[in-house]
Amino acid sequence: MSEPYVLVLYYSRHGATREMARHIAQGVERAGLEARLRTVPAVSADCEATAPDIPERGDLYASLDDLAGCAGLVLGSPTRFGNMAAAMKYFLDGTTALWLNGALIDKPAAVFTSTGSLHGGQESTLLTMMLPLLHHGMVMVGLPYSEPALSATRTGGTPYGASHWAGSDSSQQVSDDELRLCQALGERVARWALKAR
Ligand SMILES: Cc1cc2nc3c(=O)[nH]c(=O)nc-3n(C[C@H](O)[C@H](O)[C@H](O)COP(=O)(O)O)c2cc1C
């Protein structure tokens, strides 16, 4: 059997959510588990368009086996009109086989997002990203207020998951508080994944 890992699965168009994923992976590894970073291909209005099996750069695309085999999941997407991006929803809509055989039941999961504006839907995105994971029987993990950054932050960071305010031109770096909360979220999912084994 392969070593346990936490799947950090994200979609990112401009890189902000990808940067958060890196910090979350550090938290996972700090808790003693491998972090497997995977992304999903963009979807296109042109039904003829297909992405190559292997992306030209960056993390590999996730397979259903990556998801089925994980000990825990941290799922990230940019906010699009207050919700997750279509690319991530499309990937999740293809996971019926895993739902049918209960592959994700009782595994810990958490969510993260990046937005252009501070009040542009971080919390609605995080809460709605939880819904398919709850249908899969996953156990949601959030961020407790024992994390000092949750009260101190002047940018992103919520009890529902990690978040980042990238700014309307995506120029804002992940702040120190956002970074601490990304790492704490990864660490928490990894700790629960180890307990659940
Ligand atoms: C179609 C579309 C819809 C968006 N909707 C929102 C939104 O509802 N609220 C918000 O704050 N930002 C919104 N944004 C901005 C992105 O959430 C923001 O740029 C994010 O940081 C991108 O993450 P990425 O760098 O990982 O791609 C939207 C962007 C696009 C392209």
State yes or no: pLDDT of 81 exceeds 90.
yes
Residues with CB under 6 A from ligand 1: 12-18, 78-82, 114-117, 120-121, 166, 170
* 94-132: pLDDT as tens digits: 999 999 999 999 999 999 999 999 999 999 999 999 999
Output the pLDDT for position 52: 81
Q: Name the average pLDDT for the chain.
A: 96
Output the pLDDT for position 60: 96
State yes or no: pLDDT of 74 exceeds 70.
yes
* 158-191: pLDDT as tens digits: 999 999 999 999 999 999 999 999 999 999 999 9
Output the pLDDT for position 2: 80
Closest CA to 165 of 25, 39, 19, 58: 19
Between these two residues, 39 and 56, which has the higher pLDDT value?
A: 39
> What are the angstrom distances between the C-alpha of 134 and each of 20, 82, 102, 140?
23, 19, 12, 7
Output the pLDDT for position 184: 98
Distance 86 CA to ligand 1 centre (A): 12
Q: Whose CA is nearest to atom 23 of ligand 1?
A: 78
Distance 178 CA to ligand 1 centre (A): 17
Closest CA to 7 of 20, 19, 24: 24
Distance 167 CA to ligand 1 centre (A): 9
> What are the angstrom distances between the C-alpha of 6 and each of 34, 36, 78, 83, 123?
6, 6, 20, 24, 23
Output the pLDDT for position 107: 98
| Residue partners of 164: CB distance under 8 A and separation at least 6 | 16, 17, 19, 20, 112, 113, 114, 115, 155, 156, 172, 174, 175, 178
Output the pLDDT for position 5: 97
Structural domains in the chain, CATH included, are: 5-196 (3.40.50.360)
Output the pLDDT for position 1: 64
